[in-house]
Amino acid sequence: MTVSDIVRKDYRTAEVFNKYGINFCCGGNLPLQQACQLHNVNVDSVEKELENVTNPISLPPTVKFEDWSIEFLVDYILNVHHAYIKQTMPELSAGLKAFASSHGDKYPYLHEVEEAFIDLAAELSEHIDHEEDSIFPYLKLVSTTFKRKEIYGSLFVRTLSKPLSLIIETEHKRIFSLLLQLRKSANNYTYNDDVCPNHQVLYNKLKEFDADLLQHKRLEDNVLFPKAIGMEKELLSDIDK
């Protein structure tokens, strides 16, 4: 099996070949062992890394996010979804730019895909900063205040410039609208069988990014924010007692 064949079979293997500077695209028609010898890389080590990237650790399906505390949910989103976005966005931006530059004449739609991703990335960066600087610290404060049943708890409620419900209605809807535009530009990340491995890798990474973003959004919209809004309401109701 050639390097190109390996990547065509599973796009996640591309990151291993990129790490060692092994060409998996138009010049990737060498068997794995020969490609490793050419780059003075231990083939056993590469095979182990290929196995690791194609068998990632995942959460069991029985995990109930709604049972998690606000603090744990926030830390999970920060360390999983935000970390993924921060690592992946620059890689995808650079990859799309390079590929559109080299293959844009053959695939003119790549320029539209690149622009759509740039717009989404800009909005996401701003939203993540807002969450990390204001929203998440506020959520943890509300949760701590609620658990301790502190008499001054109502003073902390709605100290954000926007209420949580408005964030869901505006920022999340705007991000989802830009995601829909990316899907449209990339034809829902589908491609012909004859496209080069680089094309396949980029589109599969976009599809992965899309799926992670949706899970991230659902976790906030359906679990994290409703939990916090419920606590806000109880804290505010204490004012009238």
The DSSP result for 116-149, as a single string, is HHHHHHHHHHHHHHHIIIIIHHHHHHHHHHHHHT
Query: What is the C-alpha separation between 16 and 234, in angstroms, rounded?
Result: 51
Residue 193's pLDDT band, with cuts at 50, 70 and 90, is: confident
Nearest CA to 30 out of 44, 19, 43, 48 is that of: 43
Task: Provide the pLDDT for residue 39.
Answer: 92
3-state secondary structure string across the chain = CEHHHHHHHCHHHHHHHHHCCCCCCCCCCCEHHHHHHHCCCCHHHHHHHHHHHCCCCCCCCCCCHHHCCHHHHHHHHHHHHHHHHHHHHHHHHHHHHHHHHHHCCCCCHHHHHHHHHHHHHHHHHHHHHHHHHHHHHHHHHHHHHHHHCCCCHHHHCCCCCCCHHHHHHHHHHHHHHHHHHHHHHCHHHCCCCCCCHHHHHHHHHHHHHHHHHHHHHHHHHHHHHHHHHHHHHHHHHHHHC
Task: Provide the pLDDT for residue 149.
Answer: 73
Task: Provide the pLDDT for residue 238.
Answer: 60
Query: What is the C-alpha separation between 172 and 213, in angstroms, rounded?
Result: 11
Residue 25's pLDDT band, with cuts at 50, 70 and 90, is: confident
Nearest CA to 196 out of 11, 1, 50, 38 is that of: 11
| In the predicted structure, residue 165 carries a pLDDT above the cut 80 | no
To the nearest whole percent, how much of the chain has pLDDT over 90?
A: 66
Residue 158's pLDDT band, with cuts at 50, 70 and 90, is: low
- pLDDT (tens digit per residue) in 80-106: 999 999 999 999 999 999 999 988 888
Tokens of 207: 């599809």
Q: Which amino acid is at 228?
A: A
Phi, psi of 166 (to 5 degrees): -75, -35
- pLDDT (tens digit per residue) in 110-146: 999 999 999 999 999 999 999 999 899 989 988 888 8
Task: Provide the pLDDT for residue 168.
Answer: 75
Residue 37's pLDDT band, with cuts at 50, 70 and 90, is: very high
- pLDDT (tens digit per residue) in 58-69: 777 888 999 999
Query: What is the C-alpha separation between 82 and 80, in angstroms, rounded?
Result: 6
Q: What average pLDDT score do residues 20-35 get?
A: 87
Radius of gyration of the chain (CA): 22
